[in-house]
Amino acid sequence: MAKADFYGAGFPYRDFGNLTGKLIVLEGTDGVGRSTQINMLRHWLEEEGYAVADTGLTRSELTGAGLDAAKSGHTLGPITMSLFYAADFADRLENKIIPALQAGFIVLSDRYFYSMIARDSIRGIEKNWSRALYGIALRPHLIMYLQASVPSLVQRLIHGRGLNYWESGMDLHMADNFYDSFVTYQTAILKELEELAREYNFVTVDADRTPLEIFEDLQRPIRLLLHNRLTKSERPF
Amino acid sequence: MLRPNDTKGKLIVVEGIDGSGKSTQIDLLYKWLLSKGYSVYFSEWNSSALVKSTTKVAKKTHAFTPATFSILHCTDFADRWENSIYPLLKAGVIVLADRYAFTAFARDVARANDPLWVREMYSFAIMPDAALYFRVPLDIAVERITGSRAQLKYYEAGMDLALSDNYEESFKLFQGKILNEYDKMVDEFGLTMIDGTLPVKDQQKKVRSLIRRILVGFEGLPNPDKQGIAVDNPQARKKGKKGGK
């Protein structure tokens, strides 16, 4: 990879020069086991001798605190929330991800803007608006999608960190309790992600299995990418 | 790029570079409309309490890039849009906005963001019934600002663009770029240009005559007490009618 390649106009006021690193995205809904996999991938790649940086949603210094505060209130509208996340995304992309890629790192991104489009779409945000907004986004070298069924998500979350307000889509008032709301909401999210998987060429990995099995499936396309042998159908562009 | 007004209300916005006198004019318009018995709401650029904590820190630490500056100002606008401007327009209120999407189209593009990207970001908003552009030559506006106000701030002066090390010089160059963008939008959006060098009273006369025409046949939400509206705007509530500077 040489010049930065963006979905839209990118950041036209800056020339980032050559990006020698690789951007690898792990997509998937809440509770699917992304952070476990990111950790395993990171250790593996570091053992192989690669410099690795990881990043996730809402970790930017710019908006992290403000966004947490906004989510704890009840006046945060869908467009406002969407833009808040986009500001966070832009900050991380410009100030963390791209500099790491310039320095030749492998960047493991725990989700990317696709999750945000899925989430916003269910809240009535027009997809074309979202896509235009994320014209600033760099095209990843590889997008892997952890595909899970709703029952397995429920099982994992209830035995894990529990069902939470936002992950259950309680703001949408689709049901009067967390469980029913979670099922309805995540079913809708999965449907959106399936569509995005086709549109953006995700490499889909079955996540209804053990962490080790999933890990092995994720290693394969990464190995191919690092040896420039990904097939066309597995490349985001 | 902006949707047509699909509400019962009327949206009136004022635009122009710093020092164009637009705030004075909208303040007079606000009082006049209120005295006429209309329900009127005033919204000011960059005033959402929800977003303020974020922008405040970023401004202080100079942490904005042109893109994040642009998106966070749109976030601020969206919060006011979703919580007050749009619902009130639906209710039949006259909403007055001191700066609107055009401010972003001018400033963010002066910061070299992609013009189309910025315009699409605001495409959830409606085209105002009146978009008044107060135009003053650059040197007059700069004279008004540097002569009367305190020290220019970093982003206000466009220091992030590295146009000059000198705040006043940078401000002048930055405002020149913004003015250029505004001038281009007169045709693009059909902004109504008002000569901001005229005496305040003469400008207000033009403004009222324009707005009178827009309000022919308009009923709107009744306002028997002739009071201003404060919605999720602590500043406005404090002052009893409109947002502060």
User: What CATH number is attached to the domain comprising A90?
Assistant: 3.40.50.300
Name which of A9, A86, A129 is nearest B71 (Cβ-Cβ).
A86
Residue B234: pLDDT band with limits 50, 70, 90: very low
Kindly provide the ipTM of the predicted complex, given to two decimals.
0.90
Pairing of strands A22-27, A106-110: parallel
Cβ–Cβ < 8 Å for B22, B134: yes
Q: Which residue type occupies B92? A: G
If contacts are CB pairs under 8 Å, which of residues 120-179 in chain A contact chain B? 129, 132-133, 135-136
Please give the pLDDT value at position A234: 82
How close is the nearest chain B Cα to the Cα of A89, in Å? 9
**Bridge-partner residues for B135, per DSSP?**
B195
Name which of B132, B117, B121 is nearest B23 in CA terms.
B132
Among A12, A112, A105, A117, smallest CA distance to A50 is for A105
Q: Which of B212, B234, B244 is nearest to B94 (CA)?
A: B212
What pLDDT is stored for residue A57 in this prediction? 66
Give the integer Cα–Cα distance in Å for B174 and B156. Answer: 9
pLDDT for the residue numbered A63: 74
Kindly list the distances between the CA atom of residue A167 and the CA atoms of A29, A44, A123, A170, in Å, as whole numbers in the listed order. 9, 30, 13, 8
For residue B83, give every residue at least 6 positions away whose Cβ sits within 8 Å of its Cβ, in sequence order, or none: A75, A77, B231, B232
Q: Which chain B residue's Cα is nearest to A92? A: B68
Output Rg (C-alpha) for chain B, integer angstroms.
17
A80 is a domain residue: yes
d(CA B207, CA B232): 28
Q: Inspect the interface and report whether the beta carbons of B78 and A95 lie closer than 8 Å.
A: no
Identify which of A75, A83, A135 has the shortest CB distance to residue B75: A83
Element spanning A151, H or E: helix A150-158
- Determine phi and psi for A206, rounding to 5 degrees: -70, 115
Residue A130 lies in a domain: yes
Tokens representing A192 are 């959106």
pLDDT at residue B240 tops 50: no
Does the structure show a pLDDT above 90 at B231?
no
The pLDDT confidence band at residue B228, using thresholds 50, 70 and 90, is: confident
Domain that holds residue A210: 23-234
Which structure tokens are listed for B168?
């006043």
Question: Does the residue A195 lie in any domain?
Answer: yes
Does residue A63 form part of some domain?
yes
The rounded distance, in Å, linking the Cα atoms of A35 and A15 is: 32
Q: Are B160 and B62 in contact (CB under 8 A)?
A: yes
pLDDT of residue B232: 54
Average pLDDT of the segment spanning B144-153: 81
Number of independent structural domains in chain A: 1
Is B51 an 8 Å CB contact of chain A?
A: yes
Cα dihedral B21, B25, B27, B30 in deg (nearest 10): -160
**Burial (CB count <10 Å: 0-12, 13-18, 19+), residue B98:** buried
Q: At what angle do helices B22-35 and B200-214 cross, to 10 degrees?
A: 50
pLDDT at A70: 73
Q: Closest-CA residue in chain B for A71?
A: B50
Whether residue A7 lies inside any domain: the answer is no
pLDDT of residue B243: 36
pLDDT at A59: 65
Q: Is the pLDDT of residue B96 over 80?
A: yes
Query: Does B112 contact chain A (CB < 8 Å)?
Result: yes
The alpha-carbon gap from A166 to the nearest alpha carbon of chain B, in Å, equals: 18
* Mutate which: B56, B77, B79, vs A, most A CBs within 10 A: B79
For the cut 60, the answer to whether the pLDDT of residue B210 exceeds it is yes
Average pLDDT over residues B23-35: 96
pLDDT at site A2: 65
Give the pLDDT of residue A73: 72
Q: DSSP of B39-101, one letter per residue?
A: -EEEEETT--HHHHHHHHHHHHHT---HHHHHHHHHHHHHHHIIIIIHHHHHTTPEEEEES-H
Give CA angle at B158 (B165, B174), nearest 5°: 95
Q: What is the pLDDT along chain A (237 residues), one digit of tens a residue?
A: 468 899 999 999 999 999 999 999 999 998 899 999 999 999 999 999 999 998 876 667 777 667 777 777 767 899 999 999 999 999 999 999 999 999 999 999 999 999 999 999 999 999 999 999 999 999 999 999 999 999 988 888 888 888 888 889 998 899 999 999 999 999 999 999 999 999 999 999 999 999 999 999 999 999 999 998 888 888 887
The pLDDT of residue B241 is above 50: no
- Using a pLDDT cut of 70, give the percent of chain B over it: 93
Domains in chain B, start-ordered, CATH in brackets?
16-237 (3.40.50.300)
A13 located within any domain: no
- Cα B123 from Cα B111, distance rounded (Å): 20
Of A203-207, B31-35, B54-58, B109-113, which gets the smallest average pLDDT? B54-58
B10: part of which helix (H) or strand (E)? strand B10-15
Tell me the three state secondary structure of residue B179.
helix
pLDDT band for position B239 (cuts 50, 70, 90): very low
Q: Give the C-alpha separation, A217 to A142, whole Å.
A: 14
Full-model pTM: 0.92
Record: contact B117-A91, CB cut-off 8 A: no
Report CB contact under 8 Å: B63, A61: yes
Closest by alpha carbon to A55, among A105, A121, A120, A1?
A: A105
Question: Residue B120 is nearest to which of A61, A86, A129, comparing CB atoms?
Answer: A129
B158 at A interface, C-beta within 8 A: no
Confidence (pLDDT) at A68:
75
B55 vs B23, higher pLDDT: B23
Tell me, what's the pLDDT at A157?
A: 86
Torsion sign (Cα): B190, B196, B199, B201: positive
Are B63 and A78 inside 8 Å of each other by CB?
A: no
Return the number of CB contacts < 8 Å for A and B: 100
pLDDT of amino acid A74: 67
Q: What is the pLDDT of residue B149?
A: 63
Whether A51 contacts chain B with CB within 8 A? no
Check whether B244 has a pLDDT greater than 90.
no
Q: What is the pLDDT of residue B43?
A: 96
The full length of chain B comes to 245
Nearest to B73, CA basis, from B98, B96, B54, B95 = B54
Please name the residue of chain B whose CA is at the shortest distance from the CA of residue A8: B117
Within-domain flag for A120: yes
Tokens of A146: 């952890």
Is A10 a domain residue?
no
